[in-house]
Amino acid sequence: MNKHTRMNGRDRRGPGLASSIEKHGVRGAAPEAGRRPPVEMNEIVEAGVIGLGHEGEGVGRYEGYTLFIPGALPGERVKARVSEVKKQFGRADLIQVLEESSDRVAPPCAIYEQCGGCQLQHLAYPAQLAWKRKMVVDALERIGKLRVGDGGGAIVHPAIGMNEPWRYRNKAQVPIGFDLGEGGLVGGFYALGSHDIADMDTCLIQHERNDETVAAVKRIARELGVEAYDEKSHTGWLRHVVAKYAFASGEVMVVLVVTESSCAVFEELIERICAEVPGVASICMNVNPERSRAVFGERTVTLWGKDSIVDSIGGIRFAISARSFYQVNPAQTEVLYRTALEYAALTGGETVIDAYCGIGTISLFLAGKARRVYGVEIVPDAVEDARANARLNGIANVEFAVGRAEAVIPAWREEGIDADVIVVDPPRKGCDAALLDTIVAMRPKRVVYVSCNPSTLARDLRVLEDGGFRTVEVQPVDMFPHTAHVEVIVRLERKDTAQ
């Protein structure tokens, strides 16, 4: 089996594949009306690859029919085995690359073929950046119906990448399981398209300290006979090991996600983690007794050391607790937030509202240039972290509230708080429709939109454009090298004030 062969029969299934044909411009992909697809299950075909789908899979064409082929690259001709057949598209497993793209490289990760964590290690990094920009442009044009480019259209800048796009992640979240073939307790990442755990001790996009921490906890747990969680039978104790590393301070946090609050070797386990994990400053436990694939449960306690570790971005310190949301790539986060500050164009007299403020990362960046910043977040623990982070940095011109942005912001407006700038950084599903209506009604001078999903971003920009705003410029930032994800930051201005 050569380096271009995938024979494991699994794929990277993701949400929304049925819409991928339209999203990625594969037009005319469906067979003629009444015609059956020209392929059958398990048939081996030769296909030309014309693009990449939103999960990083190759978009192949065979007799006018679209096949999504993980591992294939644009410009290649490949041999693939059909694994799924639908009316408008199918899926296939890559068998062999017959004509190779000049952008293909050998993935350096030893388990890249088995692990589902990365999707693009086989694509040269400059080509990854070019594709991510193209993905953003395609979404804006096809979903948002926006003009892109010269002549009054939105400017989409080249994606900002990393000089060293490896070892960038500050958090590892590793599922634990039991495998007789591996000698008992294992921990790694889920294999492609499954919940089978591929045991591993090294991940090339994780910081080395996270690798060392997880490997040490796994070794200690094995030696003490800790019972790993079995998802199928809902038995066992240790479900996940979460390691967090603060790049600025060097502090390490270990979070043990467990089914109940104690086990037979509980005290010895904690003592050995304290003694054998370098730099550990905090050990926490999260109890998740539910028969669920959700990682965390509701209750978290500190077992040893501090409740949080401290990192800094751009001179602002952040306390990171066990459940805090904190961007996983601190180097690129500074690039992202400095761009947000630039797009906000603050002069010192503005009132800013930060919707989806999380633990206050963007809010605190903006506070140094604004008259006052108001942040709103639906997660109470995150708001407490945001307030603590403001105190940690001695920042007094910020105020945080718990609640839904679409409910809190109108209430603020009734109190006489009118925003000059509104910043939104929503989850992948995008902004709530009611929040978009609120933004349109408030008519701030500028909107800064931070997004991790180009498709929902484009949908929301269409609403804001129809509501009186103009998309001025768009900056993709590669927060997640070697994966199919991209972060995007957008500057919008009210049309009656835009230059």
pLDDT tens column, 93-148: 999 999 999 999 999 998 888 887 899 999 999 999 999 999 999 999 999 999 99
Are 119 and 131 contacting, i.e. CB atoms less than 8 angstroms apart?
A: no
Per residue in 420-431, pLDDT (tens digit) is 999 999 999 999
Name the residue ranges covered by the structural domains of the chain.
17-104, 141-162+329-494, 171-313
Confidence of residue 21 (pLDDT cuts 50, 70, 90): very low
Phi, psi of 313 (to 5 degrees): -135, 120
In the predicted structure, residue 309 carries a pLDDT above the cut 50: yes
Structural fold of domain 141-162+329-494: Rossmann fold (3.40.50)
Q: How many CA atoms lie within 13 A of 294 on its CB side?
A: 11
Q: What distance in Å separates the CA atoms of residue 217 and residue 336, rounded to the nearest whole number?
A: 33
| Angle, vertex CA 126, rays to CA 123 and CA 130, nearest 5 | 95
Residue 209 neighbours by CB under 8 Å, 6+ apart: 243, 245, 252, 278, 279
Q: For residue 216, what pLDDT band results from cuts at 50, 70 and 90?
A: very high
pLDDT score at 23: 41
Ordered alpha helix ranges (H), 299-400: 330-344, 361-367, 380-392
Q: CA-CA distance, 373 to 419, in Å (whole number)? A: 9
Quote the CA–CA distance of 483 and 329 in Å, as a whole number.
13
For residue 359, the tally of other CB atoms under 10 A from its CB is 28
Interaxial angle between packed helices 405-414 and 433-442, expressed in degrees from 0 to 180 and rounded to the nearest 10: 20
Amino acid at 109: C
Residue 452 annotated to the active site: yes
- Residue at token pair 């501090």: 306
Asked if the model's pLDDT at residue 159 lies above 60, the reply is yes
Query: What residue ranges in 86-148 does DSSP mark as E strands?
Result: 89-99
Q: What is the DSSP string of 243-298?
A: EEE-TTT--EEEEEEESSS--TTHHHHHHHHHHHSTTEEEEEEEE--SSSS-S--S
DSSP for 33-75, written as a single string: TTPPPS--TT-EEEEEEEEE-TTS-EEEEETTEEEEETT--TT
Query: Are 17-104 and 171-313 the same fold in CATH?
Result: yes
**Distances from the Cα of 41 to the Cα of 85, 150, 165, 238, 458, angstroms:** 7, 46, 38, 40, 35
Q: Classify domain 171-313 by CATH architecture.
A: Beta Barrel (2.40)
Backbone angles phi, psi at 272, to 5 degrees: -75, -35
pLDDT for the residue 437: 95
Second CATH level (architecture) for the domain 17-104 = Beta Barrel (2.40)
pLDDT exceeds 90 at position 248:
yes
Q: Which pLDDT does position 8 carry in this prediction?
A: 32
Give pTM, 2 decimals. Answer: 0.88
What proportions of the chain, in percent to the nearest 5, are helix, strand and coil? 25, 30, 45
Average pLDDT, integer, range 201-220: 96
CB 58 within 8 A of CB 52: yes
Average pLDDT of the chain is 90
- Hey, what amino acid is at 359? I
* Mean pLDDT of the region 44-65: 95
Cα–Cα dist 25/176, whole Å: 40
The 10s digit of each residue's pLDDT in 346-372 is 999 999 999 999 999 999 999 999 999
Q: For residue 18, is pLDDT > 80? A: no
Q: Is the pLDDT of residue 19 over 50?
A: no
CA dist 255 and 392 (Å) reads 23
